[in-house]
Amino acid sequence: MARAIYPGSFDPVTNGHLDLIRRGSRLFEHLRVLVAVNSRKEPFFTGEERVEQIRGEVSDLANVDVDQAEGLVVSYATKHGFDTLLRGVRTTTDFVAEYQMALTNRSLEPHVETVFVMPSHEWSYLSSSLIREVVLSGGDVSRYVPPSVEKALRKKLRT
């Protein structure tokens, strides 16, 4: 079985992300959740906070670990011996962007494959940016994120 990386910003991690992580853990021998850190963006949570949030939610999955990195995900994959990228595709717009990224990644690192997985129906519309917008507007996100993440979001807004 392949070893896969599930990369993303996870800012914050949502129940949709966790659904894909759990499903990916059944598809692959080893799944690494890779928190992508982009120094040009202003994240809501630090990379370390996102890593800890995800670790707390996947601690029951023996074949899943979490790391963070900056730079090209395919370069990270090659450096660390991974041969597959797991990507979630919610909409046709996602597919177009993900398809383009997968082809670019293949041209950069031909041995790294990309596997697309559809989200569960209940999370197909969910995104981290939507969660941030709802929280910043004072809305309830308790059904979209784990309780620990909701608590961290609320705490962040008070500081």
Identify whether 121 is a catalytic site residue: no
Query: Catalytic residue among 9, 17, 32, 50, which?
Result: 17
Are the beta carbons of 109 and 139 closer than 8 angstroms? no
Selected catalytic residue, list 22, 30, 90, 106: 90
* Residue 39 designated active-site: no
Is 41 buried (19+), middle (13-18) or exposed (0-12) by CB count in 10 A?
exposed
* Catalytic residue flag (residue 87): no
Amino acid found at 27: L
Contact call for residues 67 and 37 (beta carbons, < 8 A): no
Q: Is 80 a catalytic residue?
A: no
Residue 90 in contact with residue 124, Cβ under 8 Å? Answer: yes
Catalytic residue among 40, 41, 121, 158: 41
- For residue 94, the SS3 value is helix
CA atoms within 13 A on the CB side of 62: 1
Catalytic residues: 17, 41, 90, 128
